[in-house]
Structure formats: structure tokens, C-alpha cells
Amino acid sequence: MDFISGEIIGIDKPLRWTSFDAVKRVRGAIQRRLNVKKFKVGHAGTLDPLATGVLIICTGRATREIERLQNGTKEYIATIRLGATTPSFDLETEIDATYPYDHVTEEMVLAILPRFTGHIMQVPPVYSAVKVDGKRAYKYARKGAEVELKAKPLVIECLEMLPSELPELRLRIVCSKGTYIRALTRDIGEALGSGAHLTALCRTRVGDIRLEDCMTVAQAVEKISECEVTYPEDFKLKTKD
């Protein structure tokens, strides 16, 4: 593998890992393989700790491709629970309110989903990395401070209801960069008059990289440790020794 010229590695990020956790593990494996103290590794598109699935990791000169890769279309499978809300719109925080949901039918869900497809405006969650006066919104939220975020334009190409047993709802979502599935969950719950929060999320595609193309972190580390390393002609290796 040519880590210096650049590798683009698809990782299936584990549950409760941050995106940085995965990058750190891959970077460490490369540093050990090359016997260097520092090496450039980055990721293209953050996944929340409570989400799993496709995380693209770029090495060496391929880190120049991060912005292009981040702009790729995303696909997710989301599991949503009707009848209750949380401040973070997912399981990061405790339930803060409950609502009736017996009135919700599959036909109702199918009727409201078109409202959230195409070019839409979405208000990000306060528990997000959106910056407010130079500070991440989630830092205000965790201190109980009120934060007002502006709606942002985005595109949802596909919003498909998968086989579900209400009050649990499963959706396949194909969307643009910047879409918050937690915020979509909030909006769907409000439209159904039942409240909702996200209970599971898997990113199944980023651009042309699909979940079935990805390795686990352990598989990536093993492959890195065993691979034959190649170097570009203009590279001068600075080892620990």
C-alpha cells in the first residue's frame, strides 16, 4: 500500500466510537508500519458516536481529496421511535417528553414523507457541531443554555419507508452533505403529532463507497500491519531511529 501518495480506506465505524477514534487507530497502525512518529491521516465526514457505518479515511496526499469526498451523496438506514422526544433527538440524552402515537398509521407516514424530500430547509440540532459565535452548539446545549440556529438548505433525494412495526419506524434516506438525520427525525415526529427520536443510524454509502466495501477497524489495522509498503520516488522517510 502506498500510504504517502495516498490511500482511501472505507471503514465500518463501530457503535460508540468517535470518528477520531477510528482515525487514531488507523494512523497508529500506519505509523508503526512505517516506523514514524507523525503521519497525516484524516476522515471525510463525521459520524456521531451513536451511528455506525461508512467512514472514509484518507492517508498522506489523499487527504487533499477529503473535501471532494465529503460532498458525495450520503445514504442512511435510520430507526426512529415514535411517542417520545429527547433534547438531542437521539439516545445521547434522556427522554424529556412523551406523546400519544396510537393515531399514527403507515398511510400517515407515507403521506408526510414527501414534505421532507427534494430541496428543503432544515434547522440543525442544538446538540451538533454547528458553530455559534465561534463555539460549538453542543457546548451551549450541554450547559443548558438556549441556542437559536438558522435553517440551512439541503437536498433529500430519497426518503423511503422500510418494513416497520409502529411505533418503530425504519427509513432509507439518500441526502446531501449537511443533512442531520436527528433533525429529520424531530421534524417527522412533529408532522405526525407523536414526537420521535432516533434510536439507531447506519450510514450505508458515501459517494461511490458502500458499506459492503468497507473493513472493520481491526481488519484495516491487520491489513496495514501485513501489507507491502511502497514509496513515491520523491519521498524521504524520517523514521523514529
Give which of 30, 65, 70, 40 is closest to 54, Cα–Cα: 70
Q: What 3-state class would DSSP assign to 54? A: strand
Q: Which residues of 84-107 are buried (b: 16+ CB within 10 A; e: fewer)?
A: bbbbbbbebeeeeeebebeebeee
- Is residue 133 annotated as part of the catalytic site, yes or no? no
In the set 2, 12, 21, 48, the catalytic residue is: 48
What are residue 98's phi and psi, to 5 degrees?
-125, 155
Find, among 27, 188, 193, the residue nearest to 101 by Cα: 193
Which residues are catalytic, by number?
48
